[in-house]
Structure 1
Amino acid sequence: MRAIQITEFGGPEVLRQVELPDPVAGPGQMVIAVDSAGLNYADTHTVENSYLSRAALPMVPGAEVVGRTPDGRRVVALTDNGGYAERAVVQERLAHEVPDDVTDAQALAVVVQGLTAWHLLRTSARLAEGESVVVHAAAGGTGSLAVQLARTFGAGRVIATASTKDKRDLALELGADVAVDGASDGLKERLIEANGGRKVDVVLEMTGGPVFDASLAALAAFGRLVTYGMASRVPATPVRPAQLMGRSRAVVGFWLAHCLGRPGMYREPIAELLTMVAAGRLRPQLGGIYPLSEASRAHEDLRARRTVGKLVLDVRS
């Protein structure tokens, strides 16, 4: 089968197309004939071995696929890597049937990024009706869905950040009340101004470094900052307990892997999200479709922040 494999850790240049034997399913697993594979920013960390879980070589990256089961069902599924290939092994319990009126790209947007956005708001931030929400990188795969879900879940004010005017305009189109520049300089002041001069209740933060620091400084009493990424690859200033206690603030970490296998945290939210997509109440943004052979170009575009929405590898081309 054709696959994208890495034999050394590094940047996009280490992603190479090769021929590999078809994988074999173990107990509780099945082999999916992959039509499309999803790309996530976390994949760039996996390829350079800078993510939360350490990777082993050689490796086929890719955490999500849409394709056909051995009995012909069309499913979307999480993988333990291996998604950038014509065949992928998945846990049977992590495969979810896709409605006919949901496209491959829409289904792939739901399984990692949509599920992450859902849990950021519902599980980690515990968003209450009327609260203000800041969504960083609001034109990205997770951010563009979080903007829409925050509005659906009753946020009082949705504040988006993005790096360009086009991306900020997209966030406004998706339901944000206001969109501001996401650069770290002056960010605290821009967030407070965007919230009518008041500090904010919830921040969804995936950049790290000075953006994390400014976001924490903009947080109101009893506010929650949910950190779920480290896109800048720059560490934030260490947070001291007194900083949190003195202003009754919380910093909450989120990693989707901890939802797998827990009752009610995987299949049920995915079913809800797919139903919303099928009904037109949630609009995943398709940022680009790349042939399997151009996975390295897709990673280059991701790292350069040239993309919006969901990126997909067309495994059939």
Structure 2
Amino acid sequence: MAIEVRGVTKRYGTRTVVDDLTFSCEPGTVTGFLGPNGAGKSTTLRILTSLAQADAGEALVGGRRFVDLENPARTMGVMLDATALGRGRTGLETLRLAERTLRMPAGRAEEILERVGLADAARKRVGGYSYGMRQRLGIGVALIGEPKVLVLDEPANGLDPEGIRWMRRLLRSFADSGGTVLLSSHQLREVQATVDRLVVINQGRVVREGTLEELTTTRGTRVGAEQPQALLAALQREEVPHVARLDGLVDAELAPADMGRLALREQIVLTSLGVAESGGLEEVFFSLTGAAEAQPDATLPGQQAPGLPGPGSPSHPAPADRIPATIA
């Protein structure tokens, strides 16, 4: 079951947080959703889970809005904020409540506790859990309805190395069985070790999308010019694949010698010319987003970010079979 974000725009006051955003996630893939603070990731996830309404465009799961699905949480499992879990319940009580709410067979809660590695802490109150344990429990809530799609925000936060390895295996197994995973994270090294596709956004727009290999394998030339726009126009006319970096340079899939010939023919003065070298996902991320300059995502007054309010909260009353996020 695919996720489709089509031309989504969202404004808070005079600020456009998401700007004509379009991307998709296909079954069998783990897609990393990356961007600096303020890029619009959390807002996009709120729109996808029907906690916010787009001003234009649509975000669909299997061709329908999340709120219009017959059994939302049994179609798409969501964890946007593990700290929203009710601290007074035990882990087992939390999952049994989800089990009953989603009309899952008895015993599903115990099965999930085993799967997320919390069987020994089943009767411990969530308030006594470590952050990493709450992350595991939040993922368990997302999984309990046997969904076809998973949407997770920063799932590796608080996990120790063993927990991170467990999460990688879990997501890979889920995708390999035909599931669709959308994973938002700031931990670039863990993203690179987990995902097979990437969507990178900045200032509410997609700046790069493709497979992990496509984005992290640099081919060709890194070049600078006195007139960058003239260089970009020439590359476009010649249909040479290229990416404009925020430092003013351009990575183009063209050998340095051929780039020199193109510049000479077009009478473009080059200021630098060399073989492009990739430092992996981290280097690609910073070159595309200039992340150090980003500002926090806008949120509405009284609205949680990036988590979801629990069922029955004033901002999002939920029917019995709709628990899109962690149970408060």
- Quickly name the TM-score band, shorter chain normalised: under 0.3
Bigger radius of gyration, 1 or 2? Answer: 2
TM-score (norm 2): 0.27
Higher relative contact order (CA 8 A, sep 6+): 2
TM-score (norm 1): 0.28
